[in-house]
Amino acid sequence: MGAHRASRLEKVSSAASHPNQVQGTFRHEALLYAGDDEFLAGTVPFIVEGLAADEPVLVVVNDAKIERLRSALNGYADSVHFADMALVGHNPARIIPAWRQFLDDNGGGRRPIRGIGEPIWAARDDDELVECQRHESLLNYAFEGSGAWWLLCPYDTTTLPAEVIAEARASHPHVAEGGRRDRSAAYRNDAAAPFDRPLPAPPAWTQEFVFDGSLLDEARRFVDAYADRQGLSSFRREELVVVASELLTNSLRHGGGHGVLRVWYEDGRIACEVVDDGWLANPLAGRERPSTEQERGRGLWLVNHLCDLVQIRSSPTGTVVRVWFR
């Protein structure tokens, strides 16, 4: 970075209302903004301050916001990493691995970095919203002790319901709003708790298959035939069968050796659900990249990268894994 550009960055940074520098720990902060102007007012100084301190910056928002930020940042945008949240966070369970990769690629927590991530927007459906909110809580657990980095999560108060904003205050230890930054009085530090909130009941037209180790091939054929009848493309049908096979195998190995497989069609999507007697205690299951030497943990990682949405609920009474294919 040239001296002239560095000087300009320092001037912009010194004028910004971002007095709190990252100081050795993960800082997770909700940015509550009203409309495009407030979005830029809350994000541009944050980015410029990071660039002035030579901190890598990754911004994961939608394409329209990326273009607005590029325009507002002028030439400074060339030093920022951008990614489309509609791709990265299509399945919210893929977002934590993306942040982990950026952290690892930039010092692994040994140098400060900054991020902006907006996983929640008004067009998210109810199932996606719940999983995004779980993701926001899990960030506090996933990156506790991971080193000095600051993640800003924008929430548009003009388009999101009040209960979504309230949940943002509960899942973020810090909140920025109207130029102020404060600790959130509503913060609820429960990210490591078992993920046992019940899922909505399957519809009445659900088809069901009870399986054990002797019926694994029949269960796969059951899923394949259902997806074929619903018109899923051959490529996606193969992926769904792979996903079902992984879930069935997990149940046989870790869920008591038997379970119930359910499939149904709803709102342009195929749902596939496996219920068993196991207890999945790790809230980050499927969100941590398995190492090459690791024998376990690959199944749910693969499932998360093939499905449009994955919903996992587990408690001592059993586990439900529900996946969706559009």
Which stretches of the chain drop beneath a pLDDT of 50? 1-22
Q: pLDDT tens, 124-169?
A: 999 999 999 999 999 999 999 999 999 999 999 999 999 999 999 9
Contact 147, 26 (CB under 8 A): yes
CA atoms within 13 A on the CB side of 265: 9
Domains in the chain, CATH or no CATH each: 3-183 (3.40.50.300), 207-325 (3.30.565.10)
Supply angle C-alpha 194, 199, 201, rounded to 5.
Answer: 150
Contact 133, 171 (CB under 8 A): yes
What's the pLDDT score for residue 262? Answer: 98
> In the chain, what percentage of residues exceed pLDDT 70?
90
What's the pLDDT score for residue 316? Answer: 87
What's the pLDDT score for residue 17? Answer: 41
The dihedral region occupied by 242, where left means phi > 0, alpha psi between -120 and 50, and beta the remainder, is: alpha
Query: How far is the C-alpha of 88 from the C-alpha of 299, rounded, in Å?
Result: 20
Among 13, 104, 113, CA closest to 54: 113
**DSSP-assigned letters across all residues of 135-198:** HHHHHHHHTTTS-SEEEEEEEETTTS-HHHHHHHHHH-SEEEETTEEEE-TT----TTS---PP
Look at strands 180-183 and 207-212 and give their pairing: unpaired
SS3 289: coil
Record the pTM.
0.91
> Could you give the C-alpha distances from 219 to 214, 235, 307, in angstroms and in order?
10, 19, 19
Query: How far is the C-alpha of 79 from the C-alpha of 94, rounded, in Å?
Result: 24
Supply angle C-alpha 127, 81, 128, rounded to 5.
Answer: 0
